[in-house]
Amino acid sequence: MARILITSAIPYINGIKHLGNLVGSQLPADLYARYMRARGNEVMFICATDEHGTPAELAAAKAGMPVADYCAEMHEVQANLAAGFRLSFDHFGRSSSGRNHRLTQHFAKALGENGLIGEVAEKQVFSVADNRFLPDRYIEGTCPNCGYDKARGDQCENCTKQLDPTDLINPRSAISGSTELEVRETKHLYLKQKSLRGDLAKWIDAKADWPILTTSIAKKWLNDGDGLQDRGITRDLAWGVPVQFDGAPWQGMEGKVFYVWFDAPIEYIAATAEWADAREEQDSAWERWWRTDKGADDVRYVQFMGKDNVPFHTLSFPATIMGSREPWKLVDYIKSFNYLNYDGGQFSTSQGRGVFMDQALSILPADYWRWWLLSHAPENADSEFTWENFQTSVNKDLADVLGNFVSRITKFCRSKYGEEVPAGGETGERAAALIEELETRLRAYEAHMDAMEIRKAATELRTIWVAGNEYLQAAAPWTVFKEEPERAAAMVRLGLNLIRLYAILSEPFIPDASAKMLHAMKCDDKTWPGSVAEALAALKPGHPFETPEVLFAKIADEEREEWQQRFSGVRT
């Protein structure tokens, strides 16, 4: 049994996330966590809401709420939506937690003691109209790299280039829209990332198994242009982790907070500590996942995130960990994703474009969305959501293949043998060939899941479903029954066992349908199959079952057209 630590990108608190956010981190992380648990491994799956910084303040101001109240409310909203999509977090924490405050201050203190934090006087944009400095996301303007006119002051979401607010062309306040901006001097703490360049380069070079997307982005920011730069880790904001240690402010940094991208990744550790606190466990319960001197040396740590988050998780957060000179666990594998676009455009939280998580669940159950998103995950290139493709995938894959198989075999058995697994007969050569094929496909499916090749795994799983349909069609027990009811019974018995097998293999992708199939088969045993032959003999003659309701309803053309029209505009 292996120990697997899994984290997905921490979503900002500022509103409900869209399907592109979901498939770019949390959903594939859940797929992997469910699979690893099914294989008997010990899994710790951690996520949280990212509650500090400009997005939280701006969203709270727009909602007319105190920022702390807004964050508490939106954390509950996001936790409920995660549950709605069946995301199986062991803990869904909050970056505003006391644990994260203390850990962030601890890391900053360690970095300072190791000479890796310096105080820098810098020029920042000041809004006369707002009477405040405007760091990072408080400023919008045109990206100097790609020309995108809604780039933020920390990063361009179009080309992913990391920016400083003063880099923007034609900048404006994100608070008031005012262009009455001045550049004034202020002081901030900087993490001396350049001092750690050698350590980071050696670490990244050793990760030969990382996806090309991950390593290419990491090396680009490590080496391109002037290479890795020192990074500011404080901001002139009121909401966040105060820049203080042991209760005393860092001299000259009074009234400032740590930059959200400094404290947010530390929440992975803090959220695991929150998990232990909720269970009234000792610190050793979470330290065994994160400290190599407390047992984390045998943990495999896997992160899931969109490509725009890769620079921070391959450079800035590892620099924080390495620079502390303490025995913290570094990530072993980063599974990164390209973008999922929406029906000819882009998903955008800031502009409300696309289908959002709450809207998705209001029209269809989670499994419909999980299946399409995972089977079309943007692993090697950007992919695009279209309503036509979604309808086709749901109707053909889920309804016609899996749902139809379950319905046909259970209804036929009920009508001819009753709702018990029938006895008698031999399965024959056709069944032997099916078992041999499924054995090969099961091993391929496992290999793809182990390698986090999500689209390939989905394709293999669908092929496993198809094989059962093809067997049923060729064996035709409804025809055989007329002359040889015992031989037909053996075919039906095999088919009922296939339902159980499909439920177990499909659970990481479509957990609700899996649970319905297992419930129908009156089976609590979800043990991952050692061999297909054993799995297809698990339900013995006389074992009761129920004929389930339709697993997946088809999407009608009228529904597709109505949804396409409903979600074509800007969300308000």
Give Cα separations from 390 to 9, 214, 371, 374, 465 (angstroms).
25, 28, 10, 12, 19
The residue among 355, 356, 359, 371 whose CA lies nearest residue 512 is 371
The response to whether 156 counts as a known ligand-binding position is yes
Token pair recorded at residue 480: 């055989």
The residue among 571, 145, 23 whose CA lies nearest residue 348 is 571
Separation between Cα atoms, residue 105 and residue 187, nearest integer Å: 18
Separation between Cα atoms, residue 532 and residue 537, nearest integer Å: 9
Give Cα separations from 556 to 93, 386, 489 (angstroms).
39, 15, 35
Region label for 174, one of left (φ > 0), alpha (ψ between -120 and 50) or beta (otherwise) = alpha
C-beta separation of 198 from 319 below 8 A: no
Q: At 217, which helix (H) or strand (E)?
A: helix 212-223
Give Cα separations from 369 to 163, 357, 391, 448, 561 (angstroms).
34, 10, 11, 21, 17
DSSP label of 283: T
Token pair recorded at residue 562: 């109505």
Region label for 181, one of left (φ > 0), alpha (ψ between -120 and 50) or beta (otherwise) = beta
Token pair recorded at residue 441: 């496909």
Cα angle, residue 459 at apex, residues 455 and 460 outer, rounded to 5°:
115
Hey, how many other C-beta atoms are within 10 angstroms of the C-beta on 191?
25
The response to whether 143 counts as a known ligand-binding position is yes
First to last CA, the chain: 48
The response to whether 146 counts as a known ligand-binding position is yes
Which residue's structure tokens are 């509103």? Answer: 15
Token pair recorded at residue 541: 């003659």
The response to whether 47 counts as a known ligand-binding position is no
The response to whether 71 counts as a known ligand-binding position is no
Q: Is the dihedral of CA 483, 486, 491, 495 positive or negative?
A: positive
Q: Which residues are annotated as a binding site for Zn(2+)?
A: 143, 146, 156, 159
Q: Which residues are annotated as a binding site?
A: 143, 146, 156, 159, 349
Q: Which residues are annotated as a binding site for ATP?
A: 349
